Structure 1
Amino acid sequence: MDSRRLLRTSATALAAAGLILSGCTGGSDAAASRTTTEAAARASASAAPDSEALKKYYGQKPKWRDCGVTGFQCATLLAPLDYAKPDGGDVELAVSRIRATGPGKRLGSLLVNPGGPGGSAVGYLQGYAGIGYPAAVRARYDMVAVDPRGVARSAPVECLTGPRMDAYTQVDQTPDTAAETNALSAAFKEFAAGCQKRSGKVLPHVSTVETARDMDILRAVLGDEKLTYVGASYGTFLGATYAELFPDRVGRLVLDGAMDPSLSALDLNRDQTAGFETAFRAFAADCVRKEDCPLGTESAAAAGEALRAFFRDVDAKPVPTGESRELGESLATTGVIAAMYDEGAWPQLREALTRAIGGEGSGLLALADSYYEREADGTYANLMYANAAVNCLDLPAAYAGPADAEKAVPSFEKASPVFGEGLAWAALNCTYWPMRPTGSPHRITAEGAAPILVVGTTRDPATPYKWARSLAAQLSSGTLLTYEGDGHTAYGRGSDCVDTAINAYLLEGTPPQDGKRCS
């Protein structure tokens, strides 16, 4: 696994990916509890939205053109590379939309973001949201997406060549010796140095605060007085940050699969580790009821022990995959975690585990490749590069060095006996980041904002349910909607109760009763 903060809705890919935070808990308890926000402080040091310096951005008139994807239009949005120096150059952002289909009065624009950080919002819109969101919502809203700065089509961060990224994903993340620890640190250092070398100009300016400010420019350019938005996973942090910066411009915000902005990088990583354990136990309980379960049919606990034994085996002796890459512990773990995002992937995981335990690892490798967005030709999308770049700016690193990671292993193993050790070491990545972090953990209250709907899934692997409870409580106008189920995020995943509540909020502006539960 890579840095633990990739948080993506499962609709963006097979089961999507979910790396959460990274890094030295530079956030102290005092920092985590304060309500004077980092975003507000940074915004005050930057050009105000109504300043003369930003007028040219807010007054843009995009030139919409055919995207080559039926029904969708595309345009380019300009934003200042550095909001503190808005005359210092631009960043070009890719935007796409599909117009409201009618009937009924058009309600404006609905901006969507699938999470990550690093997920392509334009790809999500064109591949899913613009055609897959409920028809009643698409009838009344222009569906819109912008790839965040540093992501996909918007000045993408680049870090490693395909072959070097292959090597990076295979580095042992459960080091047993000093040499293995040094190799893991060297891999993180090479990754960070590659990002600086290939993307040094944009790398200091891909924070969530800057992306939230870009969203406000887009809101104005689209002609909307208020922002209507559905953000999934990391997209909830982006939406909450927008509400923090521009509470008076909040329209109808849905934050699905919520993050807790008050937590340090270490706590976020550890909480997500516990979330994957919860998801694995649900998978294991389902698996052992089937005669063909590759982890046995005794109990979920025994299945966990069997999976740990398998990980130890492939750590000692990787298995062939039918290509030059073998399946070692790191790729095997990534493959299993990829399938935790959506219970619909459980049959594929059972088959992949059966084959891997039998000595053929191509099934788990395919799952890992989907997680990393690796193409068949050996190239990678920029998902993982943008993921690290945003995370390492948004929060101080989880650790000061490898010794801290080693000390944290027992607490991670307590959170997840199956995944804990590897995810503890994965949080080392931001330790070597070339840019100083610009954010820190803090509560988001967004005083004065219109009602904001926060959605949490009780057995969500990537964004644990307690995060949704916490964010809803922090927001002065937060309302919590709970989905009692499996998988990452809830909207559009099969619950009529959830979809009806969210649709009513988007179409009528009335959130469900706080605390409403769906199954």
Structure 2
Amino acid sequence: MTRGVWHRAAAAVLAVGVAVALVAGCTPKRSSDDRPAPHRTPVTQGAPAGFETYYGQKVDWESCRGVGDGDYQCAQITAPKDWSDAGGGDIELSVIVHLASSGTAKGSLFVNPGGPGASGVDLVQQAASFAVGDELLDSYDVVGFDPRGVGRSTAVRCLDAAAMDRYLFAIPSAPRGTPERTAEQQSSAESFARACDSNSDGLLPYVTTENAARDLDLLRGVLGDEKLSYLGYSYGSFLGATYADLFPKNVGRVVLDGGLDPSIPSAIVGARQAAGFQSAFDAYLASCLTGSDCPFSGTEANARQQMGDALAAVDASPLTASDGRKLGADSLVTGIVSALYSEGNWSSLSSAITGVLEGDADEMFELVDRYYNRYDGQYLDNSTEAFSAYNCMDYPADPADVVADANADVAAKAPTFAPYWSSDASLCDAWPYPPTGSRNEIHAEGAAPILVIGTTNDPATPYEWSAALAKQLSSGILLTRVGEGHTGFNKGNACIDDAVVAYFEDDRVPDGDLRCEAP
């Protein structure tokens, strides 16, 4: 049995990424009576038995730098490696706080950009306004954190940059669809998994969403918040829903944007994402064919066939980029998927596809590198390693009949990508530790109202997942953004933005599900 291959659900759009120059923030004046998040008294009441000292720990906060105006504080917070064993050793969680611009905070607002594996520290440090919008930045201490295994926290480590390039971009010598090709890919997966185990100092079995949710409650307590205010994007919605299920009484204001349905198996996740990216690609084609710089011609059906021919051509004869990497069909699909996270990328996608049709792979590799957060031959974070670690621990292996049904769905609903979407080789089958997660509905009985945002043509977290999550949650309310692209808040839809801001600012909860047409 193999596990379905599914694409990361946020990193390409929310992990801000490449070569941003940090500048010194401007520190607003504060009275001595103000107590921003780093200086509030920790909340230890309700801490899990045996872990009280973690919740009450003294933290050494330091001023740090961020992009744009603002007062930033950074720290490393100690957490238990194993939440079932208080004596099982420690890990460190990296945290950054953008103190409320107004000088007086309503409390902390935690934000997670998804992935799994994207850095919340980078998101807040490099693009705090993009993360939560200026109104919430004014009234909350906005907290970015790297979950366990990620970024500046105690992290999963696997390969150096050169070895990662070989793992991600080396093209098997055997033809597609043959047992020999599968054997090559499985050998590569096994080598990657062994490297992760060797270089991660015993961390791998504890890199799970449940443990990350327990860490999030620890951070809430350490920063002195009685209730959690949280904005989670994409995979961050799964982290937030898991938190609400574990700690329903600690839920304050929680928004889950780009929901994941926690009840469906990984193969079905991958199949539905394939259909989502096909839908987004079809929307791109419809728009592209009306313009003057479209690399395709004729009808939409003609354009889909032309894209299919291009994929088959590079699969048979990969293009060589200026840095020596080979662009085959798998990397071409990754580049297309990377661009389809946002309608704003469509012109770049047209230009990159034009390059491919003319024999030039460089622009397409720029889109591929954006997906992997790779720049100038280096990986700016460990998001790919962390993504693998979380998913291999969170998702149990799928039965053969589920995989077969998923493959049939991909063939029927994503014909452009189907030949290249997955393989019989599985990294997670090679993972050195068995998965501990399960696929079940999340209800979070007793939690305060939780807002779930779904975008109707979101390719990475299809709308039906947000609808399902809102229905599962005992207090879920669905906000529908009619439009293209991944996630819905702070994307220019005033109806969505106003509802979210009113919820966080004034605790105003919509009377029921809300549908917001495109502006």
TM-score calculated relative to the size of structure 2 = 0.88
Provide the rounded CA distance (Å) in 1 between the counterparts of 2:407 and 2:47: 48
**Corresponding position of 1:94:** 94
Give deviations 1:143-185, integer Å, cap 9, x for gaps.
0111000000011111122222112222459923222121122
* Identity between Structure 1 and Structure 2 (%): 41
Alpha-carbon spacing, 1:432–1:165, altered in 2? closer, same or farther (3 Å): same
Alpha-carbon spacing, 1:200–1:76, altered in 2? closer, same or farther (3 Å): closer
The answer as to whether partners of 1:398 and 1:431 remain within 8 angstroms in 2 is no
The answer as to whether partners of 1:288 and 1:295 remain within 8 angstroms in 2 is yes
**Corresponding position of 2:31:** none
Which amino acid letter does the alignment assign opposite residue 438 of structure 2?
S
In the TM superposition, residue 50 of structure 1 has moved relative to its aligned partner by 3.1
The answer as to whether partners of 2:230 and 2:254 remain within 8 angstroms in 1 is yes
SS at match of 1:201: coil
SS at match of 2:254: strand
Give deviations 1:363-412, integer Å, cap 9, x for gaps.
00111011111121344521010001001111113467xx9968853332
The answer as to whether partners of 2:171 and 2:326 remain within 8 angstroms in 1 is no
Query: Mean Cα displacement is larger for which, 306-315 or 470-479?
Result: 306-315
In the TM superposition, residue 188 of structure 1 has moved relative to its aligned partner by 1.6
Provide the rounded CA distance (Å) in 1 between the counterparts of 2:511 and 2:305: 42
In the TM superposition, residue 515 of structure 1 has moved relative to its aligned partner by 2.4
**Corresponding position of 1:308:** 308
**Corresponding position of 1:450:** 448
SS at match of 2:423: helix
**Corresponding position of 1:183:** 184
**Corresponding position of 1:27:** none
Provide the rounded CA distance (Å) in 1 between the counterparts of 2:463 and 2:239: 18
Provide the rounded CA distance (Å) in 1 between the counterparts of 2:425 and 2:286: 28
Q: Do structure 1's residue 437 and structure 2's residue 438 form an aligned pair?
A: no
In the TM superposition, residue 93 of structure 1 has moved relative to its aligned partner by 0.6
**Corresponding position of 1:107:** 106
Of the three residues 426, 429, 438, the one matched with 1:428 is 426
The answer as to whether partners of 2:8 and 2:115 remain within 8 angstroms in 1 is yes
Query: Mean Cα displacement is larger for which, 185-194 or 114-123?
Result: 185-194
The answer as to whether partners of 2:340 and 2:459 remain within 8 angstroms in 1 is yes
Alpha-carbon spacing, 1:426–1:240, altered in 2? closer, same or farther (3 Å): farther
In the TM superposition, residue 79 of structure 1 has moved relative to its aligned partner by 0.7
Q: Which has the higher contact order (CA 8 A, sep 6+)?
A: 1
Q: For structure 2, which runs of at least 5 residues remain unmatched after alignment?
A: 19-44
SS at match of 1:450: coil
Q: Do structure 1's residue 381 and structure 2's residue 381 form an aligned pair?
A: yes
In the TM superposition, residue 116 of structure 1 has moved relative to its aligned partner by 0.4
The answer as to whether partners of 1:409 and 1:425 remain within 8 angstroms in 2 is no
Give deviations 1:61-116, integer Å, cap 9, x for gaps.
3221022336211011111000111111100010100111227x631000000000
Provide the rounded CA distance (Å) in 2 between the counterparts of 1:106 and 1:426: 51
Provide the rounded CA distance (Å) in 2 between the counterparts of 1:478 and 1:186: 44
Give deviations 1:195-216, integer Å, cap 9, x for gaps.
1111141111110000000110
Alpha-carbon spacing, 1:63–1:14, altered in 2? closer, same or farther (3 Å): closer
**Corresponding position of 1:43:** none
Provide the rounded CA distance (Å) in 2 between the counterparts of 1:430 and 1:300: 37
How is 1:406-425 mapped onto 2 (pairs within 5 angstroms)? 409-425=407-423
The answer as to whether partners of 1:342 and 1:486 remain within 8 angstroms in 2 is yes
Provide the rounded CA distance (Å) in 2 between the counterparts of 1:212 and 1:351: 41
Q: Do structure 1's residue 68 and structure 2's residue 65 form an aligned pair?
A: yes
**Corresponding position of 1:197:** 198
**Corresponding position of 1:127:** 126
How is 1:87-486 mapped onto 2 (pairs within 5 angstroms)? 87-102=87-102, 106-130=105-129, 133-172=132-171, 175-296=176-297, 298-379=298-379, 381-398=381-398, 409-425=407-423, 428-486=426-484
Alpha-carbon spacing, 1:502–1:408, altered in 2? closer, same or farther (3 Å): closer
Provide the rounded CA distance (Å) in 2 between the counterparts of 1:308 and 1:416: 11
Alpha-carbon spacing, 1:228–1:132, altered in 2? closer, same or farther (3 Å): closer
SS at match of 1:424: coil
Provide the rounded CA distance (Å) in 1 between the counterparts of 2:424 and 2:14: 25
Provide the rounded CA distance (Å) in 2 between the counterparts of 1:279 and 1:413: 16
The answer as to whether partners of 1:77 and 1:93 remain within 8 angstroms in 2 is yes
**Corresponding position of 1:55:** 52
The answer as to whether partners of 1:259 and 1:471 remain within 8 angstroms in 2 is yes
Superposed CA RMSD in Å reads: 2.2
Q: Do structure 1's residue 78 and structure 2's residue 78 form an aligned pair?
A: yes
Provide the rounded CA distance (Å) in 2 between the counterparts of 1:242 and 1:324: 44
Matched pairs, number: 482
Provide the rounded CA distance (Å) in 2 between the counterparts of 1:96 and 1:347: 34
Provide the rounded CA distance (Å) in 1 between the counterparts of 2:321 and 2:7: 27
SS at match of 1:179: helix
The answer as to whether partners of 1:13 and 1:370 remain within 8 angstroms in 2 is no
Provide the rounded CA distance (Å) in 2 between the counterparts of 1:102 and 1:447: 35
Alpha-carbon spacing, 1:195–1:306, altered in 2? closer, same or farther (3 Å): same
The answer as to whether partners of 2:248 and 2:446 remain within 8 angstroms in 1 is yes
Provide the rounded CA distance (Å) in 1 between the counterparts of 2:506 and 2:406: 47
The answer as to whether partners of 2:340 and 2:485 remain within 8 angstroms in 1 is yes
Q: Do structure 1's residue 13 and structure 2's residue 16 form an aligned pair?
A: yes
**Corresponding position of 1:496:** 494
Provide the rounded CA distance (Å) in 2 between the counterparts of 1:374 and 1:483: 31
Q: For structure 1, which runs of at least 5 residues remain unmatched after alignment?
A: 16-47
Alpha-carbon spacing, 1:244–1:406, altered in 2? closer, same or farther (3 Å): closer
Provide the rounded CA distance (Å) in 1 between the counterparts of 2:158 and 2:138: 40
TM-score calculated relative to the size of structure 1 = 0.88
